[in-house]
Chains A and B, each alone.
Chain A
Amino acid sequence: MRTHITRSAMALATAGALVLGGCASSGDESDDGTVKVGVVLPFTGVQATIAKLEGQGAEVAAKLINADGGVDGKWKIDLVKVDDQLDPGRSATVIRDLNDKGVDLAIGGQTSDLCKSSAEASQRFNMTFIGAHCTSPDLVDPPITPNFYMIGQQMTDIATAIGTGLAKRYPDIETWDVMTYDVEAMRLSWDVAKKAMEKELGRPVKVGKKYAVPVTATTLRKEISGLDSTGDKSKRGLFLGVYGAGTTSFIQQAKPTGLLDDYGVLAQTGVYWPTATALKGAAPAIYNVHDYFYACQDTAENKEFVAAFEKETGEKPDAGAYQSYLAVRLLEAAISKAGSTDTAKVQKELQGISLETPMGTTMKIGAETHAGSGGVTTAVLAGDPSAPQGVKISDCDVVPPSS
């Protein structure tokens, strides 16, 4: 019977090798006038709706660049999309898949932990990785890995902008209830926003109910019951540090309680656009902050981007799409400056590079910090059946990057 151990172990090794041999491949560097750019996003799972828009932003950037003759007139962009399934463990595998396919430059990273795992894995191959959507200041200055660059605006800038904006526009709110994802960046968003509010108002801000929920949470009834129990809400505000499926779930579950209409103001850091459009004209008005809202920018490049995105998808771009667009544009600029698609040369050029954005601001990547600072936008997004995609964007404020 003991011989089974030998047989089984050998069978495991050899059968695996033979049967799965087709899976093995070697990374071959293509120099055929194309440059492969990996797009690492959770295309399936609870954040898939956001990821789809983000992926489309990268596609539009690639199409516009390719239509203009390619990067520096030499290289057409070939996007290689991989699905990290919102799982840091999976992202370690898909980064290796990209390396196997000869990809040296990649963008993506929807959350801070995904940016971390993608950056760590890509570091093994010196693959350039641009964290397009993560916002945690912990990821930069110094960067978590030398090959990592972040262009999602840092949560400190985003939260300061919304805190200041809320204090200016809604000075009569006395108490704030808070619900955030239980991730450092989103918890931090409230702390920073509160500080900015207090600075603008010149008085302390009172905090009512405060909840932190897992990023995968879709059942929020316990938190909604707690918020519902706070009595008169005309002088209360609700600060949401959730996004994507979390926002959708919250609105769907809170709507029957009348909670959303009772609050003096609803505010959110993070992506609201996909949720608002999905509610088809019935989205509650939320004071939102993000890098970009398509209706708040009046520049020629923004018009071109919005028109191209609409042509490609039939929809308006959101902040996630804009970030992916910008990440690809940034790679284009760095490759052009380097005159090469070599990952080491591209990384060198990314340090300290500047790029005019569709927002009308200039994004500069810190040479030491590897953080892109490009300004943020605040606006009210409200359901309106007559507006494009059923969402009206108003009360825009573009906050330029701090020098």
Chain B
Amino acid sequence: MLQRAGVPLLAGFALAAVLMPLVFSGSSLFTWTTAAAWVLFATATSVLFGWTGLLSFGQAAFFGMGAYTMALLNQEVPDLPGVAMLVVAAAVAAVVAALFATFALRTSGAEFAILTLVLAQVLWLLIYRVPWLKGEDGFSGLFQIKILGSPLTSDLQLWYYTIAVVAVCVWLLWLLSGSTLGMAMRAVRDDPWRAAALGIRVRGVQVTAYAVSAGFAAVAGALVAQGQGVVSPAMVTFAISGEILVACLIGGMGRFVGPMIGAVVLIWSQTMLANVFHDSNVFVGLLLLVIVIALPDGLVSIPARIRGRRRPARRATVPSDVSVEEPSPVSEVVR
């Protein structure tokens, strides 16, 4: 019962919230703060990619939309509480996503993925073309956003705030995962025709998944922006869309926590390698490539692999003329 309600998940976040500042400080704690926001971004992306089976190359659009919405709110309504800004950012992204998906989901597969990429590119271009989005200059002053009546004046406060918001959002996604809607998403992913035959409104479920994913991605983007204090077009680039998919693949989407682990590995490998190598992105790319190739089911598959090695192999002999269908890496999400 407690597990179904996500209590262990919340306990894990609470433990991390308390433990990290005891061990880390300064730049390292800030990296954990960034990683926490990316944990939410990856989990939100997994709603689309892992649960519903919709591949999006344009998640940066909603990540950036959250950041820009927050920056604009901070500029126009500076006294609005930060949490309210997050809610508005999520709502804006979810509405835009729902409208977009209503039309874009007339296509499927690669065509849909390309349309999501186009959406992100259009937003990126708008940032340069619409004067009030300030082009390359972007926005600053996001440290001044008020949380509980005053700005976050230290990295420790920023950590507690970020991890609290991420914990609540991930917990909501956990509840969604176990709900009827979450199961419908997986049914649509596994076999849309069969899902439709069972009475599931496939398009409606897909549109909802896209909107939910966008809303939480926007919250993640807004948190990152608040942490950096600035918003720039770099938050809407294709690199961000690619990185979050890589994070999902690294962690593995067979389990709820897979994308979360992938996000932490991605952010930390970027940070640590940047301190060691010039042009570190090349090495980050190579490292992640090795992980994805060596562990096609992601880092969450390591325990199962270890258990498999310990047990003696008891494989049935398969005749050479019988094809064995490999299970899809995302054929099941184990909570």
B-binding residues in A (CB < 8 A) = 1-6, 8-10, 12-14, 16-17, 20-21, 23-27, 43-45, 83, 85, 87-90, 92-94, 96-97, 99-100, 111-113, 116-117, 119-121, 123-124, 136, 138, 144, 181-185, 212, 214-215
Contacts and interface: CB of A to CB of B under 8 A. Distances in A.
A113 B30 contact: no
B26 A25 contact: yes
Interface of B: 3-4, 6, 8-9, 11-13, 15-16, 19-20, 22-32, 34, 128, 134-138, 140-143, 153-155, 174, 224, 227-230, 232-235, 255-257, 260-261, 264, 268, 271-272, 274-275, 278-280, 300, 334-335
A9 B27 contact: no
Nearest to A184: B137
A100 B24 CA distance: 11
Given A9-B11, A14-B19, A27 B26 contact: yes
Contacts of B279: 44-45
Given A8-B300, A89-B232, 18 more contacts: A3-B8, A8-B260, A10-B12, A12-B12, A17-B24, A21-B23, A24-B24, A24-B25, A44-B278, A88-B228, A89-B228, A89-B235, A97-B26, A100-B25, A120-B229, A124-B154, A124-B155, A181-B136
Contacts of B264: 12, 16
Contacts of A96: 26-27, 30, 155
Given A5-B3, A9-B8, A144-B140, A120 B230 contact: yes
Contact of A123 (B13, B143, B232): B143
Nearest to A144: B140
Contacts of A14: 19
A46 to B, nearest CB: 11
Nearest to A116: B140
A174 to B, nearest CB: 29
Contacts of B232: 88-89, 113, 117
The prevalent SS among residues of A at the interface is: helix
A214 to B, nearest CB: 7
B163 to A, nearest CB: 10
B327 to A, nearest CB: 16
A212 B135 CA distance: 11
A181 B264 CA distance: 35
A83 B232 CA distance: 18
B128 A9 contact: no
Contacts of B275: 97
Contacts of A16: 20, 32, 264, 268
B156 to A, nearest CB: 11
Contacts of B229: 92, 117, 120-121
A90 B15 CA distance: 27
Contacts of A88: 138, 228, 230, 232, 234
Nearest to A89: B228
Contact of B136 (A1, A5, A90, A113): A113
B31 A2 contact: no
B19 A113 contact: no
A116 B228 CA distance: 10
Contacts of B271: 93
Given A1-B335, A89-B224, A100 B138 contact: no
A90 B274 contact: yes
Nearest to B178: A2
Contacts of B13: 9
Nearest to A82: B275
Contacts of A184: 134-137
Contacts of B4: 2
B128 A13 contact: no
Contacts of A20: 24, 28, 268
Contacts of B272: 23
Q: Which of B12, B227, B235, B268 has the most CB of A within 10 A?
A: B12
A282 B272 CA distance: 41
B154 to A, nearest CB: 7
Contact of B278 (A10, A83, A87, A123): A83
Given A123-B143, A183-B137, A93 B3 contact: no
**The 9 residue pairs across chains A and B that have the minimum distance between CB atoms:** A9-B12, A120-B229, A96-B27, A2-B3, A6-B8, A100-B26, A13-B16, A183-B136, A8-B257
B40 to A, nearest CB: 14
A182 B128 CA distance: 7
13 contacts: A2-B8, A5-B9, A9-B9, A9-B12, A9-B15, A12-B261, A21-B24, A89-B224, A90-B274, A120-B140, A124-B155, A181-B136, A183-B137
